[in-house]
Amino acid sequence: AETGTTAIRADVSGSADVAAACGAILGDFKHVDALVNNAGVALTAQLQDVTDAQWHEVLGVNLTGAFYMTRALLPQMISQGRGRIVNVASIWGMVGGSMEAPYSAAKAGLIGLTKALAKEAGPSGITVNAVAPGATRTDMLMGYGEDTLRQIEWETPLGRLTEPEEVARAVLWLCGDEAAMITGQVLCISGGSVIV
With H, G, I as helix, E, B as strand and everything else as coil, classify residue 25: helix
Dihedral of CA 191/173/136/107: which sign? Answer: negative
d(CA 32, CA 8): 15
Residue (of 22, 24, 26) closest to 37 by Cα position: 22
d(CA 144, CA 174): 30
Give the pairing of strands 34-37 and 186-189: unpaired
68 is catalytic: no
In the set 59, 103, 132, 167, the catalytic residue is 103
d(CA 110, CA 8): 23
3-class SS letters over 111-174 = HHHHHHHHHHHHHHCEEEEEEEECCECCCCCCCCCHHHHHHHHHHCCCCCCECHHHHHHHHHHH
Instruction: Give me the active site residues, please.
Output: 103
